Amino acid sequence: MPELPEVEAARRGIAEQLVGRRCTGYELYRPRLIIAPGGLTLDAIVGDPLQEVGRWGKYLWLVFPLLALLVHLKLTGQLVARGASIPGFAAGHPVPPYDAPLPHKSTALRLDFAPDVQLFLTDVRHFARVQLVLPEELQTTVASLGLGPDALGPEFTLEALRRRLARRRGTSLKAALLDQTVIAGLGNIYVDESLWAAQLHPQRLVGSLTDEEIARLYEAIRSVLAIAVPIGGAEIRNGRAVPPLGEFPYVHGRAGQPCVRCATPIVKRTIAGRGTYFCPSCQPEPVTSSLPTTDRADAAIAAS
């Protein structure tokens, strides 16, 4: 977290409330946030309007006439916009609380827009990064990330999923779906929810899936995101689901609680290096339960 639904919530908030507004200044509280080639600084956005906001997977970009900001919120990044002339929005990691006074002690960047509007990037773990790119080089830079099809984009088709998974036949489903080169945007929460919806165990080897199971997985991913995106993502705090049982998320963060489909207690296990939640009844464990050795490397890929 933040994953695709949370980053998409930020994109929509920025698109609706900030695009077209002129940047009047900024405050960089944590210089290490910025990755910039020689000569590029945030000074280039001051005085110019925000022209465009886009997203691919977990990456978000803000385009000004002379500079683009490529943002990755990593594990705990948060974007909050406030101002008298906008409704305001908050998206990303829920800590600090969305209504906390800002700037927070972990706020890394504030962008100011006319009239009297602020966009705050806060990150309690300090992993988030903002790469400065010339606008004409933005698409090349995004392409160089090697991301798979965006899980909300037209490129994410059943056939695309089949092709991407075919390259990971010896990998567990959990690790393969966390890999951003397979599908861009899914992370720990939505992989757990998708596998539960598809009734597939997270330790199943990709190569063991039937065509029908891959089709089921594809539809599950689409249905989970259709729930998560409009609400801005799952409510998870301190590793526990906040909504009452029976509301989304259905398994992630609910260890020991009854599965809403069969009432079997949800289990938590570390798979591909991540805390993983599943129903042992709805998601039958494979006969060979040991993790493939490739999962250790895949866990590192998934965290990127």
Taking a C-beta distance cutoff of 8 angstroms, is the pair 30, 109 a contact? yes
Q: What is the mean pLDDT of residues 162-178?
A: 97
Q: Please tell me which residue in 11, 193, 274, 292 is annotated as part of the active site.
A: 274
pTM here is 0.92
User: Is 82 noted as a catalytic residue in this protein?
Assistant: no
**What torsion do the CA atoms of 251, 254, 258, 259 make, to the nearest 10 degrees?**
0
Domain boundary among 117, 143, 169: 143
- Domain, as residue range, for 196: 158-302
Q: Are residues 32 and 101 in the same domain?
A: yes
pLDDT tens readout for residues 180-212: 999 999 999 999 999 999 999 999 999 999 999
The Cα–Cα gap between 75 and 123 comes to: 8
Q: Are residues 209 and 109 in the same domain?
A: no
Predicted pLDDT of residue 38 = 84
Q: Please tell me which residue in 11, 58, 164, 174 is annotated as part of the active site.
A: 58
Q: What is the mean pLDDT of residues 263-292?
A: 89
Across the chain, mean pLDDT equals 94
Q: Is residue 148 part of a domain?
A: no
Cα separation values, 283 from 41, 179, 194, Å: 50, 21, 11
User: Is 286 noted as a catalytic residue in this protein?
Assistant: no
User: Is 2 noted as a catalytic residue in this protein?
Assistant: yes
Q: Write the CB contacts of 96 (distance below 8 Å, at least 6 apart in sequence).
A: 78, 104, 106, 122, 124
Q: Please tell me which residue in 2, 94, 202, 292 is annotated as part of the active site.
A: 2
pLDDT tens readout for residues 65-124: 999 999 999 999 999 999 999 999 999 999 999 999 999 999 999 999 999 999 999 999
User: Is 168 noted as a catalytic residue in this protein?
Assistant: no
Cα separation values, 214 from 44, 177, 181, 271, 283, Å: 47, 12, 17, 20, 14
Predicted pLDDT of residue 37 = 87
Domain boundary among 99, 114, 143: 143
| Cross-strand pairs, 123 | 77
* Count of domains forming the chain: 2
Q: Is residue 235 part of a domain?
A: yes
Predicted pLDDT of residue 287 = 83
Closest residue by Cα to residue 8 from 54, 63, 71: 54
Q: Is residue 150 part of a domain?
A: no
The CATH number of the domain holding residue 130 is 3.20.190.10
Residue 292: is its pLDDT beyond 80?
A: no
pLDDT tens readout for residues 245-255: 999 999 999 99
